[in-house]
Structure 1
Amino acid sequence: MVVPFVQRVLSLFLAVAFVFFFSVSARAATFEAQVDRTTIYRGESFTLTLTLSGAQQSITPDFGPLRKDFQVRTQGQSSSVNMFNGSFSSAVTWQIVLLPKNTGDIIIPSISVQTGLGVLKTQPLRVTVSAKPSPVASSKDRDVYVTANLSTKNPSLNAPMVYTLRLVASKPVSEITHGDLKIDNAIVELQGDPKVYDTVTGGKNVSVVELRYLITPLKPGIITIPSYVFQGMVSGDRPRRPTQMFDPFSNRAQDPFAVLQDFGVFDALLGQPFTLMTDEVVLNVSGAQANMDPWLPAQGLQISDFLDGEKNAKVGEPFTRRLTLVVNGNTGSVLPSLEDRAAPEAFFSVYAEKPEAGMNITEDGTVTGWREEAYTLVPKYGGDLVLPEIKVPWWDIKNSKVAYASVPARTIKVEGAPAPAAVSQQFQASQSTDLEQNSATSATSSGSVSAFTNISGGFGGILRRQNALVFLTGVAAALIIGVGIYFLVITPRKEEQSQTASSSPTSVLSGVSGVRVKGPEDAVNENARKPAVSLSGLERAVDMNVLKDHFLLFVQQKVGGGPVLSLKDAVREIGQRLDERDRNILFVAVSKLEGALYAGQAESFDDIRNDIVRSLKALKTPASDHHGKVTRLGALNPS
Structure 2
Amino acid sequence: MRLTNNAFPTTQRHWLTASLLLLLTLLSTALHADTNVRASVDRNRLSMDETLTLSLTADSMLFSDEPEVAALENDFHILNRQQSSRTNIINGSISSSRQWDLTLAPKREGEITIPAIRMGDKSTRPLTITVTRAPQGTANRSSDQQVWLEADITPRRAYVQQQLEYTVRLFSSVNFLDASLEQPEIEHALVESLGENRYRQRVDGRVYQVIERRYAVFPQRSGSLSIPALTLQARVESYRPSLLDPGRLVIKRSPPMEIQVQAPPASFDGALWLPAKNIELFEEWSDDPEQLQAGQSITRRVDIRAEGLMAAQLPKLPPLNLPGIKLYPDQPGLQNTTDESGLIGLRSESTAMIPTQPGDYTLPELRIAWWNTETNQPEVAVLPARTLRIAAAPGQIQDEAT
Using structure 1 for the length normalisation, give the TM-score. 0.40
Q: Could you tell me whether the CA contact under 8 Å between 2:151 and 2:166 is conserved in 1?
A: yes
* Higher fraction of helix: 1
Q: Could you tell me whether the CA contact under 8 Å between 1:172 and 1:235 is conserved in 2?
A: yes
Aligned length: 300
Other-structure match for 2:358: 382
Other-structure match for 2:297: 318
What CA distance in whole angstroms lies between the structure 2 residues aligned with 1:360 and 1:284?
Answer: 27
What CA distance in whole angstroms lies between the structure 2 residues aligned with 1:205 and 1:148?
Answer: 19
Letter in 1 for 2:201: V
How big is each residue's C-alpha offset from its partner over 1:323-351, in whole Å with a ceiling of 9 and x where there is no partner? 2222111122222222525xx33342222
Other-structure match for 2:330: 353
State yes or no: 1:199 paired with 2:200: yes
State yes or no: 1:392 paired with 2:393: no
Other-structure match for 1:130: 135
Q: How far apart are residue 157 of structure 1 and its match?
A: 1.9
Closer/same/farther in 2, CA of residues 154 and 129 from structure 1, 3 Å limit: closer
Q: How far apart are residue 46 of structure 1 and its match?
A: 6.5
Once the two structures are superposed, the pairs formed by residues 319-468 of structure 1 within 5 Å of their partners are 319-338=298-317, 340-341=319-320, 344-363=321-340, 365-416=341-392
Once the two structures are superposed, the pairs formed by residues 618-629 of structure 1 within 5 Å of their partners are none
What CA distance in whole angstroms lies between the structure 1 residues aligned with 2:324 and 2:173?
Answer: 68
Other-structure match for 1:292: 270
What CA distance in whole angstroms lies between the structure 2 residues aligned with 1:221 and 1:347?
Answer: 52
Q: Could you tell me whether the CA contact under 8 Å between 1:357 and 1:369 is conserved in 2?
A: yes
How big is each residue's C-alpha offset from its partner over 1:11-64, in whole Å with a ceiling of 9 and x where there is no partner? xxxxxxxxxxxxxxxxxxxxxx99xxxxx9x7533689xxxxxxxxx99xxxxx
- The structure 1 residue matched to 2:49, chosen from 34, 44, 47, is 44
Letter in 2 for 1:271: G
Letter in 1 for 2:225: I
**Max radius of gyration: which structure?**
1
Q: How far apart are residue 357 of structure 1 and its match?
A: 2.5
Closer/same/farther in 2, CA of residues 199 and 357 from structure 1, 3 Å limit: same
Q: Structure 2 stretches of 5 or more lacking a match?
A: 1-41, 54-58, 61-71, 85-100, 111-131, 394-402
Q: Could you tell me whether the CA contact under 8 Å between 2:362 and 2:387 is conserved in 1?
A: yes
Once the two structures are superposed, the pairs formed by residues 51-200 of structure 1 within 5 Å of their partners are 129-132=134-137, 135=140, 137-138=141-142, 140-190=143-193, 195=196, 197-200=198-201
Counterpart of 1:323 in 2: which secondary structure? strand
Closer/same/farther in 2, CA of residues 368 and 96 from structure 1, 3 Å limit: closer
Counterpart of 1:333 in 2: which secondary structure? helix
Counterpart of 1:270 in 2: which secondary structure? coil
Letter in 2 for 1:197: R
Counterpart of 1:275 in 2: which secondary structure? strand
Aligned residues: CA RMSD:
4.2
Closer/same/farther in 2, CA of residues 210 and 133 from structure 1, 3 Å limit: same
Other-structure match for 2:120: none
What CA distance in whole angstroms lies between the structure 2 residues aligned with 1:235 and 1:264?
Answer: 6
How big is each residue's C-alpha offset from its partner over 1:271-312, in whole Å with a ceiling of 9 and x where there is no partner? 211111122222222223334332211111111223333222
Q: Could you tell me whether the CA contact under 8 Å between 1:43 and 1:278 is conserved in 2?
A: no
How big is each residue's C-alpha offset from its partner over 1:460-516, in whole Å with a ceiling of 9 and x where there is no partner? xxxxxxxxxxxxxxxxxxxxxxxxxxxxxxxxxxxxxxxxxxxxxxxxxxxxxxxxx
Closer/same/farther in 2, CA of residues 380 and 294 from structure 1, 3 Å limit: farther
Letter in 2 for 1:303: L
Q: How far apart are residue 160 of structure 1 and its match?
A: 2.9
What CA distance in whole angstroms lies between the structure 2 residues aligned with 1:293 and 1:216?
Answer: 20
Counterpart of 2:245 in 1: which secondary structure? helix
Q: Could you tell me whether the CA contact under 8 Å between 2:311 and 2:347 is conserved in 1?
A: yes
Closer/same/farther in 2, CA of residues 264 and 158 from structure 1, 3 Å limit: closer
State yes or no: 1:229 paired with 2:231: yes
Q: How far apart are residue 144 of structure 1 and its match?
A: 0.7
What CA distance in whole angstroms lies between the structure 1 residues aligned with 2:181 and 2:368?
Answer: 42
Closer/same/farther in 2, CA of residues 188 and 347 from structure 1, 3 Å limit: same
Closer/same/farther in 2, CA of residues 410 and 71 from structure 1, 3 Å limit: closer
Q: How far apart are residue 389 of structure 1 and its match?
A: 1.4
What CA distance in whole angstroms lies between the structure 2 residues aligned with 1:216 and 1:269?
Answer: 44
Counterpart of 1:269 in 2: which secondary structure? coil
* Percent of aligned pairs sharing the same letter: 21
Q: How far apart are residue 378 of structure 1 and its match?
A: 2.0
Letter in 2 for 1:309: D
Q: Structure 1 stretches of 5 or more lacking a match?
A: 1-32, 35-39, 49-57, 60-66, 79-93, 104-126, 238-262, 418-639
What CA distance in whole angstroms lies between the structure 1 residues aligned with 2:138 and 2:252?
Answer: 13
Letter in 2 for 1:142: Q
